[in-house]
């Protein structure tokens, strides 16, 4: 996964660098969001979980979900303290484990932290 510096005033990015290497991990990263203190939450397709990376790119925690393929985490609720996670439904070209009636669903949990509003980006 890559990281860049973002200038909100000019809405530009620069200084591309490696944030985290996931080649040796099961599954693959998909959609993601950033937590208020700079922690990065990534849906991890094929391993039944969402992964939280610290600002240095190290895995800080994982949260299991009841489906194989999570697709996008985001924070919501009045205090931005609810983590919502979308998932990929049964179908398409990627094989999926049997017996997942919740595949394609939206899941919510309160991990005890708070997200931050999405910044504007013009790139």
State phi, psi for 28 to the nearest 5 degrees. -150, 150
- Tell me if residue 46 is catalytic: no
Q: Which of 24, 30, 37, 46 is the catalytic position?
A: 30
Burial group, residue 67, by CB count within 10 angstroms (0-12, 13-18, 19+): buried
Closest CA to 115 of 75, 78, 73, 84: 75
Residues labelled catalytic: 30
């Amino acid at each position: 996964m890559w990281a860049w510096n973002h200038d909100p005033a000019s809405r530009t990015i620069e200084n591309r660098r490696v944030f985290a290497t996931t080649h040796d991990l099961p599954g693959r990263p998909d959609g993601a969001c950033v937590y208020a203190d700079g922690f990065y939450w990534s849906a991890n397709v094929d391993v039944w979980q969402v992964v939280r990376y610290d600002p240095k790119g190290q895995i800080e925690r994982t949260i299991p979900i009841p489906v194989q393929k999570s697709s996008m985490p985001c924070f919501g609720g009045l205090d931005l303290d609810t983590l919502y996670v979308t998932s990929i439904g049964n179908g398409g070209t990627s094989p999926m484990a049997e017996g997942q009636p919740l595949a394609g669903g939206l899941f919510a949990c309160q991990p005890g932290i708070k997200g931050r509003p999405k910044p504007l980006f013009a790139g």
